[in-house]
Amino acid sequence: MSAKSNHIRKSRPGPCLHWIFLALLLGPALSVVIQRDTRFPVPKSISDALMLAPDLKHYFAAEFVLRNRLAGLNHQAMATVNGGRSIGALARQGKDGWLFYFHENRNYADLGIPTANLRNSLADVLRKHEFCESLGVTYIPLVIPSKSTVYHEFLPDRMRRQMGTPGAVTEWHRYWTTKAQGLRSVDLLSPMRAAKVNAPIYFRTDSHWSEYGAYVAAEEVLGELRKTNPNLPEPYRESPVFMHQECEPGNEARMLGIENLLTESYVKIRLPEERALLLPDGSHPEVHAINLTGAKGKLMVVRCPQGEMQSVIVFNNSFGVALVPYLPRYFQESRFAWLSFSDDLIREHRPTVVVELFTHY
């Protein structure tokens, strides 16, 4: 018994290792606090915390030469805290250089949705719909298809066989619109599958949609609104010009630790400049959808004097960044709120439309 106790005492790390471990955890956070970077996200769940380490380097100043190494050390520390399981276990390599991210609980959108989840989600969106309707506001829940549903053909063969034919993301839309009269959900899966022949809807190495994916989503929302607002322009009236440029790989590549082995193509869309978007300071909004730059703070206001509708509030997540150049083109004032649905914010601003983004991974 004594020999065993001695063995245990010898195997424990010394106090220096404890301090080093704490430094790896707290160092990046302290650096961000010192720089007062308001774009730094606060994790609200275990999933958010797991995603934080690979994305952390984007919140350091560009001139901070150790940011990549520090992000890597933080990544390793998070994996250690998580019982030795690498964050990369949540990412998978597919075909032709395509990578895919999966939540620990897998994708409801791919594997089918339990009935209880559908009922709970219906009660949630129905409450929001009725609240908005009581104020004369149009509520549009927008379910974002996962990359694996849009680019099912690039999944690893075994995973593709396990999932079968994807499309259950549409089930949210169908269930909501069938059970809730007047709910104006928009199904994005079919339009995105059709549009991907023109340009990438998603990044190959990142879990987020590209600017073109966001453009398609904005035009589909426009199509839904046009049903009751015929003065709005027809969706896809303008043919975008695509510009491709190389950029650094996205979060899935960083999860797998292969960001130095891959490149990514960033697709910018050029539209006619007849609808100028302006920030409150008079500048034009600039975003970069793969590293989320441009979303400064939790509330971003964009104005378009040529917009046909008065205002919109978008309750967004990281996918909402790419919507900034496109959805506001039809509203005189747009607010992108990086937070959960807020009754108070809607009461305060009384927008014409509320759009809420939903992702299911």
Residue ranges of domains in the chain: 2-85, 99-359
Sign of CA dihedral 230, 231, 237, 243: negative
Look up the pTM and report it: 0.74
Give residue 123's region: left, alpha or beta (phi > 0; psi -120 to 50). Answer: alpha
Q: Give 208's contacts (C-beta < 8 A, 6+ positions apart).
A: 202, 250, 251, 289, 290, 318, 319, 322
Predicted confidence at residue 13, as pLDDT, reads 57
Predicted confidence at residue 178, as pLDDT, reads 75
Predicted confidence at residue 111, as pLDDT, reads 39
- Residue 54's φ and ψ, nearest 5 degrees, are -65, -30
Predicted confidence at residue 66, as pLDDT, reads 57
Predicted confidence at residue 133, as pLDDT, reads 95
Q: Give 205's contacts (C-beta < 8 A, 6+ positions apart).
A: 97, 99, 249, 250, 252, 253, 259, 262, 264
176 and 141 in contact (C-beta within 8 Å)? yes
Cα–Cα distance for residue pair 290/268, rounded to 1 Å: 12
Task: State the 10-residue block means of pLDDT for the chain, 361 residues long.
Answer: 47 65 64 53 57 50 51 53 48 87 48 59 89 96 88 82 57 73 86 94 94 96 95 90 92 83 90 87 87 70 95 92 94 93 96 90 41
Predicted confidence at residue 43, as pLDDT, reads 62
